[in-house]
Structure 1
Amino acid sequence: MKKQVRKLVSLSLVAGSLIMVSCGDSKKENAEAEAVSHTEMEHEMHEEKEEVATAVDAEFSDAKVKQAFTQYISLKDALVGTDAAAAKEAAKQLEGTLSENNAEISKIAGNIATTEDVNKQREMFSKLTAKLEPVFKGAISSGKIYKQFCPMAFEGKGDSWYSTSEEIRNPYFGDKMLKCGRVEETIM
Structure 2
Amino acid sequence: MKKLFILIALVFLITSTILAQESGNHQHSEHLETLLTEYLEIKRALVNDNFEGAKSALQSFSQEITTNNEMKHHPEHSLMHETHHSTMITAVESASNAENIDQLRNSFDEISAELIKAVKNQNIKTNLHVQFCPMADNGDGARWLSENEEIKNPYYGSMMSTCGSLQEQI
- TM-score scaled by length of structure 1: 0.63
Partner of 1:179: 162
Counterpart of 2:97 (choices 114, 118, 121) is: 114
Deviation track 1:69-117 (CA, whole Å, cap 9, x = no partner) reads: 1111111111111111111111111111111443431342233223231
Q: Give 1 or 2 for the bigger CA radius of gyration.
A: 1
Please, which runs of 5 or more residues in structure 1 have no aligned partner?
1-59
Matched, 1:75 2:42: yes
| Cα gap change, 1:84 to 1:126, in 2 (>3 Å) | same
- 2: CA distance between counterparts of 1:157 and 1:170? 15
- Give runs of ≥4 in structure 1 deviating > 4 Å: none
Matched, 1:91 2:74: no
Q: CA deviation at 1:127?
A: 1.1
Deviation track 1:28-65 (CA, whole Å, cap 9, x = no partner) reads: xxxxxxxxxxxxxxxxxxxxxxxxxxxxxxxx861010
- 1: CA distance between counterparts of 2:55 and 2:32? 20
- 2: CA distance between counterparts of 1:70 and 1:94? 9
Deviation track 1:109-146 (CA, whole Å, cap 9, x = no partner) reads: 23322323110101100111112222111235333210
Please, which runs of 5 or more residues in structure 2 have no aligned partner?
1-26, 72-84
Answer whether contact 2:130 2:166 (CA < 8 A) is retained. yes
Answer whether contact 1:87 1:112 (CA < 8 A) is retained. no
Q: CA deviation at 1:156?
A: 2.5
Partner of 1:144: 127
- TM-score scaled by length of structure 2: 0.69
- 1: CA distance between counterparts of 2:55 and 2:132? 23
- Aligned positions, number: 128
Answer whether contact 2:109 2:137 (CA < 8 A) is retained. no
* TM-align CA RMSD: 1.7
- 1: CA distance between counterparts of 2:115 and 2:47? 19
